[in-house]
Structure 1
Amino acid sequence: MNKSQRKKAHLIIHSASTAAAGVGAGMAQLPFPDATVLLPIQTAMVIALGKVYNIKLEEGAAKALATQFLAQKAGQLTARFLVGKLPVAGNIVNGSTAAAITESYGWMIAKEFSEEFDKKHKL
Structure 2
Amino acid sequence: MVGGEATFRRLVHRFYQGVAEDPLLRPMYPEEDLGPAEERFALFLMQYWGGPNTYSENRGHPRLRMRHAPFQVDAAAHDAWLGHMRVAVDELGLAPEHEARLWRYLTYAAASMINTAG
- State the structure with more CA Rg: 1
TM-score of the superposed pair, with normalisation by structure 2: 0.37
Structure with the higher fraction of residues in helix conformation: 1
